[in-house]
Chain A
């Protein structure tokens, strides 16, 4: 009911919990010494304990497992004890035939718990600490039972009956191995049916029959006109997609009917797990959705959500998950609707566990709703709308003094500003920012971004939001990488400012982002870690390897260690891994820009090997793109295309765009090199189409497309057009402050003019490009600009050959060390030309020719490193001779 929030941790006692209680009772039976009766070793005993712990914590599903699933798992855990355990559980369960039995059972349980003054405990006695996890579980069960009304106890009894019977019927239908045991159970059950006081069980039988009838293939529609029967068939579609979840070796028909059962009669035998587990489950699912994006199955999860909503209408988190699901499947309207619904119901006070619950004011936290809405608009490519909404979020967070939300909102705005090209924010980023941007709004977007980043970082640090701090450091590094720090004020001492980017600062920022991996535990989400650990533990049970390790019941202590080892990585939250991973990605990009090919490659490789599991699919695609590009530049197209093929297979259903773009890029370059101009133009056009997609304009892609367009024109010798395209591109880069790109464009302009025979016009462009490169520390680009400059000098006449040669020799270390095949080739060619144009160098023409040979080999047979190695050796020898 409105305004009334129910106690969140409410705990209902269910048949599954009763059986866990029975197991706990076995695990810690009060009268035994050191290793209790059925266990033959300490490790066996511990394994059961671990298993029980996992059962109470794991969040891999929303529903409690059925008895047969429990029995299956017990078989994995129990090893030799398997029969004894399952028999004990089933017989204990089926002995509960009247409400009084239940009362006695829970009274017995109470004895398992040590008293609060467990100091008097004897040495070897096993007593469950009431404050341990299992102890707490037991206490909650007992409490929940004591709170039950008599009707509630009756329901519990009925449900236990159904729970047992289902297991038995399914056992007898598909399990041959356990025929003997199930036979026992059936016997014991028939005993109960002969009892006088078997009202309960009779009722259960009736119900079971009714359900069976319901699940039998619905034959009663046969009489109806065809139209009707087709209508009827519609409803049976449900069961289908869910069968993916089926990991047990059940035959499909029985399973389908079981699934239908869930829908037909949710009352019998289907119970939600504890609130804690469900929240954990939803969190895990949210992570997976975000990680996998659109490859996550929409409908199957939607079905689960629908079921969850039916079972727990007051669990509003479901709406949020639905929103996420719709968001990543690009369903704008449903996403919007569900987002609004979620925040209307929850007032932002549910979920988001980083907010201390004590700080909850009576106004609700609707600013989070705005934050989410803003991010949604961003995702759907409405940056302007997103910015408006986020601005509102900033204002509302300030009003409600929700600093955490403010910090996150600022980070989101920074992200938005840095990702989407805004030429101006005037009129959007207005008044609410004035407390942060005290200098007024006459700043450029970049300056505003810088101020915001600083503010966001400071805020996150003061609020001790470690992850946000790390993310902000990364954003800062990105900013520093591509922007020169200029003074914010137009007056005051400026001399101290070096107008260059500073790689050291970038490195520092990246490093401070990395600290997160050792500090994340302060974030306080132990809950998810616990849950994830337990889930992983249980999942490992199902792997064949797991059972193999465990069935060696030789009593050595280390047989449980392999498990711990395998599940260890999951103890670091996925989000932390992702952040740390992306710091490596940033490093790779930074080195790429600074022009150190090996370092870029190493970082990309580190990411691909260490963080592939935790990375989101788009990041993983990006790293593949980087590696393949590296291959293309240094090993030639053959290898690059081979690698691309594997990458395409890997990211088949994921948003292909990145991989697709890479493919187009490679195709375009190869076409240019081979002189297939038509093909190049075609590919280039396709790239242009991608750049002007319906979703937000990706500036990076846009520049890329027109850059390639200009290159194609250049190759087609349409110089004036190429120059025009490049010029307009430069204007755009200038407008949106894309300075790194500007350097490239300037270089291209220089090349265009050089090729059109206008070397004099080209010179200033080359020089401008050089100065850009210097400012932004783009060493490799600088080397190639130097090379172009040398070429320009050379084309001015043979008397400038010396100048050219000097320039070239200056750039040689960089080019040979980090440059790709093409660049090296060009450098050699230019060098050769220099020598040729100077008559005094005729003596070394032999060497030059050899070098040419080397070049031709390289270019024509690119991708055969062994041969090039051979040639270079060859070359070395001859050089020695001469």
Chain B
């Protein structure tokens, strides 16, 4: 496991380095949309932009090397820069920085600083393992931060800093916990050079609320649309995010990235069918893609597609075994197969590779719940919510775990949290209602309120209406009960479902209308009941008989019925 941990760190470093270098190589002069449009025509813009997006998420381990375009001042020391760049690509960061020690060109300075930063990061990751104390002490720091901050601050002060330098400055400030300043610097960076996606994503990680986002002073640029779409998704504003991405897709028709993001947004909106189609399409175009495939596997899991999921798992494991996403997909597969122990092993591996991999924590929690290991489940869920307090699934899981332990009162606290973050999910409301209904609490009024909410948010399993009717019947409120039974009945008719619920609804409605002396309605329900076998049929018959006697034998009652 140790090797995989360090592997992860290196992967992360290369990943970021590649991103950054790609950013460097895109010469702004050549890359402004207007320019390109004149030179190459719109279709090539698309292609170019697409590569931009792809390279922001490159397959791991691919160091993106190409000849940098020199600026005037760089030309003189181009050789040094080239040498440093080669060292850098070979991950010899300190060496690279040393080569550039006397260079003053903006690019050289940036590369030197960035190399130093990465060297510090690498050492930090190593130390993290070396220093791991008994209580999980994880306070290894990047020791280059102090000097980097000083240098970059001076550069910033003298106004001799380029957007990449600003990006790095923002990164350093963020690591040092000075978030406000980091945001300012990053905004400045993306405003002067919008194509640096890394800067955008750092900025995104610093915007945890809508208010902060609205407070940013971003100049209008189409990169901003990408940023907004991405951050809306993070802030769980899925519809906004989806519309942004769809707009963007109009411009970048073949972008895999956008396609994947749309799929993710739709997944959050629980539109599984469409998500599946999108992902199938995506895999056809980009067969070795691992990124975002965990979402696809979740969809397959929900739809219980065993073979498709196993195929996907096979494919990703061939592509890259040590990606958190790959492990997560395999974990999902085992979970679907009911082999929860194995599933946990893979989720654990995913978490080893990325300690902050949110969905793995949540999914592992689910597995522990299946294994009836509630304390472990609670722990896993709690870690998930501490990483991202908006993860309603983990809150829901916590609630479930406590409910399993027979602590409904305690569970309620978590269900409340979960519906707070996702008020449109009927399952959460139903879970909460069931909690209220439990024999320990027996708070039926509250349960009814929750079921009502559930019924209002498109309850696909149609539990809420039925339960509402039952509860009202239990509380001796026949009018309300009849109302919900009727609704439930309509629904079942629309979906052409049959079953005990249908019979129950018919039965109740028949007797209810009979006691209300609305014989015509009662007769309708009774005759429908005659189609079913079982004791209900007999009851319906006797009801009908009774009604006929009442209608024919005692006309006076009839009169009463018609003139109330």
Interface SS majority for chain A: helix
Verify if A313 is at the interface (C-beta below 8 Å from B): yes
Q: Which of B137, B375, B383, B406 contacts A362 (CB 8 A)?
A: B375
Verify if A265 is at the interface (C-beta below 8 Å from B): yes
**What is the CB-to-nearest-CB distance from B169 to chain A, in angstroms, rounded to a whole number?**
11
Report whether A344 and B379 are in contact in the complex, using a CB–CB cutoff of 8 Å.
yes
In the complex, chain B residues whose CB is within 8 Å of the CB of A220? 149-150, 153-154, 157
Question: Could you tell me the distance between the alpha carbons of A373 and B141 in the complex, rounded to whole angstroms?
Answer: 37
In the complex, chain A residues whose CB is within 8 Å of the CB of B158? 223
Verify if A117 is at the interface (C-beta below 8 Å from B): no
Verify if A82 is at the interface (C-beta below 8 Å from B): no
Report whether B375 and A314 are in contact in the complex, using a CB–CB cutoff of 8 Å.
no
Report whether A2 and B157 are in contact in the complex, using a CB–CB cutoff of 8 Å.
no
In the complex, chain A residues whose CB is within 8 Å of the CB of B146? 210-211, 213-214, 264-265
Report whether A275 and B135 are in contact in the complex, using a CB–CB cutoff of 8 Å.
yes
**Interface mask (B273-289 → A, CB under 8 Å = 1, otherwise 0):** 00000000000000000
Question: Could you tell me the distance between the alpha carbons of A315 and B140 in the complex, rounded to whole angstroms?
Answer: 17
**What is the CB-to-nearest-CB distance from A656 to chain B, in angstroms, rounded to a whole number?**
33
Closest chain A residue to B130, Cβ basis: A151
In the complex, chain B residues whose CB is within 8 Å of the CB of A284? none
A10-B133, A344-B378, A344-B398 given; A234·B368 CB < 8 A: no
Question: Could you tell me the distance between the alpha carbons of A204 and B21 in the complex, rounded to whole angstroms?
Answer: 33
Verify if B296 is at the interface (C-beta below 8 Å from A): no
**What is the CB-to-nearest-CB distance from B34 to chain A, in angstroms, rounded to a whole number?**
31
Question: Could you tell me the distance between the alpha carbons of A521 and B141 in the complex, rounded to whole angstroms?
Answer: 45
Binds A, one of B84-92, B176-184, B473-481, B537-545: B176-184
Question: Could you tell me the distance between the alpha carbons of A373 and B180 in the complex, rounded to whole angstroms?
Answer: 37
Report whether B379 and A3 are in contact in the complex, using a CB–CB cutoff of 8 Å.
yes
Report whether B143 and A207 are in contact in the complex, using a CB–CB cutoff of 8 Å.
yes
**What is the CB-to-nearest-CB distance from B411 to chain A, in angstroms, rounded to a whole number?**
10
Report whether B135 and A364 are in contact in the complex, using a CB–CB cutoff of 8 Å.
no
Verify if A310 is at the interface (C-beta below 8 Å from B): yes
Question: Could you tell me the distance between the alpha carbons of A618 and B511 in the complex, rounded to whole angstroms?
Answer: 64
Verify if B386 is at the interface (C-beta below 8 Å from A): yes
Verify if B75 is at the interface (C-beta below 8 Å from A): no
Question: Could you tell me the distance between the alpha carbons of A802 and B147 in the complex, rounded to whole angstroms?
Answer: 101
**Interface mask (B411-438 → A, CB under 8 Å = 1, otherwise 0):** 0011000000000000000000000000
| Complex interface residues of chain B between 369 and 398 (CB less than 8 A to chain A) | 373-383, 386, 398
Report whether B407 and A392 are in contact in the complex, using a CB–CB cutoff of 8 Å.
yes
Closest chain B residue to A313, Cβ basis: B136
Report whether B180 and A234 are in contact in the complex, using a CB–CB cutoff of 8 Å.
yes
In the complex, chain A residues whose CB is within 8 Å of the CB of B150? 213, 220
In the complex, chain B residues whose CB is within 8 Å of the CB of A439? none
**What is the CB-to-nearest-CB distance from A490 to chain B, in angstroms, rounded to a whole number?**
29
In the complex, chain B residues whose CB is within 8 Å of the CB of A364? 374-375, 378
**What is the CB-to-nearest-CB distance from B155 to chain A, in angstroms, rounded to a whole number?**
10
**What is the CB-to-nearest-CB distance from B174 to chain A, in angstroms, rounded to a whole number?**
13
Report whether A6 and B368 are in contact in the complex, using a CB–CB cutoff of 8 Å.
no
Closest chain B residue to A342, Cβ basis: B382
Verify if B222 is at the interface (C-beta below 8 Å from A): no
Verify if B43 is at the interface (C-beta below 8 Å from A): no
Verify if B348 is at the interface (C-beta below 8 Å from A): yes
Interface SS majority for chain B: helix
**Chain B interface bracket (under 10, 10 to 19, 20 to 34, 35 or more):** 35 or more
Verify if A224 is at the interface (C-beta below 8 Å from B): yes
A2-B364, A266-B141 given; A312·B149 CB < 8 A: no
**What is the CB-to-nearest-CB distance from A780 to chain B, in angstroms, rounded to a whole number?**
46
**Chain A interface bracket (under 10, 10 to 19, 20 to 34, 35 or more):** 35 or more
| Complex interface residues of chain A between 301 and 355 (CB less than 8 A to chain B) | 310-315, 336, 340-341, 344-345, 347
Report whether A2 and B379 are in contact in the complex, using a CB–CB cutoff of 8 Å.
yes
Verify if B324 is at the interface (C-beta below 8 Å from A): no
A2-B380, A266-B139, A267-B141 given; A210·B147 CB < 8 A: yes
In the complex, chain A residues whose CB is within 8 Å of the CB of B147? 210, 213
Question: Could you tell me the distance between the alpha carbons of A10 and B361 in the complex, rounded to whole angstroms?
Answer: 26
Question: Could you tell me the distance between the alpha carbons of A312 and B137 in the complex, rounded to whole angstroms?
Answer: 5
Question: Could you tell me the distance between the alpha carbons of A364 and B372 in the complex, rounded to whole angstroms?
Answer: 12
A265-B141, A313-B137 given; A363·B375 CB < 8 A: yes
Verify if A232 is at the interface (C-beta below 8 Å from B): yes
Report whether A363 and B405 are in contact in the complex, using a CB–CB cutoff of 8 Å.
yes
Report whether B413 and A340 are in contact in the complex, using a CB–CB cutoff of 8 Å.
yes
A220-B150, A222-B157 given; A231·B180 CB < 8 A: yes
In the complex, chain A residues whose CB is within 8 Å of the CB of B31? none
Report whether A345 and B374 are in contact in the complex, using a CB–CB cutoff of 8 Å.
no
List 29 interface pairs A-B (beta carbons < 8 Å), by A numbering: A2-B368, A2-B379, A2-B383, A3-B373, A11-B134, A12-B133, A12-B134, A151-B130, A152-B130, A213-B150, A214-B146, A231-B184, A266-B141, A267-B127, A267-B141, A272-B133, A311-B135, A311-B137, A312-B135, A341-B382, A341-B386, A344-B398, A347-B378, A347-B379, A363-B374, A363-B375, A392-B408, A392-B440, A399-B406
Interface of B with A (CB < 8 Å)?
A: 127, 130-131, 133-141, 143, 146-147, 149-150, 153-154, 156-158, 177-178, 180-181, 184, 348, 351, 361, 364-365, 368, 373-383, 386, 398, 402, 405-410, 413-414, 440-441
Closest 7 CB pairs of A and B: A10-B134, A223-B157, A3-B376, A312-B135, A220-B153, A314-B136, A344-B382
